[in-house]
Amino acid sequence: MTRRTEHGLRGLYLVTPDEADDTRLVAQVEAALRGGPALLQYRNKLLPAERRHTQAAAVLALCRAAGVPLVVNDSVDLALAIGADGVHLGRDDGDPAAARARLGTGRILGVSCYDEWARAEAGARAGADYVAFGAMFASPTKPAAVRAPLELLGRARRELGVAVAAIGGITVDNAPQLVAAGADLLAVISDVFAAADPAARATAYGQAFRAGPVPAARPQ
Ligand SMILES: Cc1ncc(COP(=O)(O)OP(=O)(O)O)c(N)n1
Ligand SMILES: Cc1nc(C(=O)O)sc1CCOP(=O)(O)O
Ligand SMILES: [Mg+2]
């Protein structure tokens, strides 16, 4: 299997909260970007498409200024319309292979796998750059999310030629065990965006990656 490593997908993966106020969203993202994430996802499950377009374009400008790639949740159309760097798709968000065909090879494609190994294999085959497992812990954002076993992270790292993301209830305190188990990306909403100082909180995740094991050789 060809390994897709060109995006350097390792580190904190910030995911935006459901914020309806554009000014507040910009301030929150601007602050969190100062913490040096590897990647940022624009996600809003409440606003209509037109408002999401406006917010995503504003977040893209911030990401460009910070040199951080932007992934758009759920919608290839929106990602392409604003010129984002990629898209994240879950089970209700369309076919990953069709998304890859539309995105071309240069953009990032991420796929939700929940606690399902078969989804990760299929996602990697369809051309995903990363597969995401979760929820790893109880999530304040998605309290009803299925819980994924830690072991999936290591198995994906050993057997798939793509980056491995973990999501759901991640905090600075539990981050090191996820990195040790095999996560390349830690996708976080609440722990950073609900923090009193989002920049400091985001910065603190760097330690989990510095302390983690040197990435093992993976299949090419
Ligand atoms: C990195 C990452 N992993 C998982 C998800 C969840 O995607 P999905 O299951 O489609 O749920 P929604 O986010 O659309 O509510 C994600 N967004 N990002
Ligand atoms: C968007 C999302 N997807 C999940 C999954 O398990 O697939 S958990 C989740 C929410 C993550 O937010 P928080 O960092 O606040 O727990
Ligand atoms: Mg989705």
Q: Is ipTM beyond 0.85? A: yes
Ligand 1 mean position to 140 CA, how many Å? 14
- Nearest-atom number in ligand 1 for the CA of 132 is 3
Summarize the annotated binding site for Mg(2+) as residue ranges. 74, 93
Secondary structure of residue 64 in the 3-state scheme:
helix
Cβ neighbour number for residue 93 with a 10 Å cutoff: 16
Whether residue 29 is contained in a domain is answered as yes
Q: Quote the domain boundaries for residue 42.
A: 11-211
C-alpha span between 206 and 213 (Å, rounded): 13
Q: What is the largest CA-CA distance in the chain?
A: 44
Whether residue 110 is contained in a domain is answered as yes
Whether residue 41 is contained in a domain is answered as yes
β-partners of residue 160 are: none
C-alpha span between 81 and 192 (Å, rounded): 28
Whether residue 4 is contained in a domain is answered as no
CB 17 within 8 A of CB 193: yes
CB 111 within 8 A of CB 127: no
* CATH number of domain containing 54: 3.20.20.70
* pLDDT tens, per residue, the chain with 220 residues: 344 445 789 999 999 999 999 999 999 999 999 999 999 999 999 999 999 999 999 999 999 999 999 999 999 999 999 999 999 999 999 999 999 999 999 999 999 999 999 999 999 999 999 999 999 999 999 999 999 999 999 999 999 999 999 999 999 999 999 999 999 999 999 999 999 999 999 999 999 999 755 455 444 4
Any atom of ligand 1 within 6 Å of the Cβ of 120: no
Whether residue 220 is contained in a domain is answered as no
Q: Rounded to whole angstroms, what are the CA distances from 118 to 86, 138, 145?
A: 23, 23, 18
Whether residue 2 is contained in a domain is answered as no
Whether residue 217 is contained in a domain is answered as no
The half-sphere exposure of 13 on its side-chain side, counting CA atoms within 13 A, is: 30
What is the model's pTM? Answer: 0.95
Whether residue 5 is contained in a domain is answered as no
Which residue has its alpha carbon closest to ligand 2 atom 15? 190
Which residue has its alpha carbon closest to ligand 1 atom 7? 90
C-alpha span between 191 and 170 (Å, rounded): 7
> Per the structure, how many domains does the chain have?
1
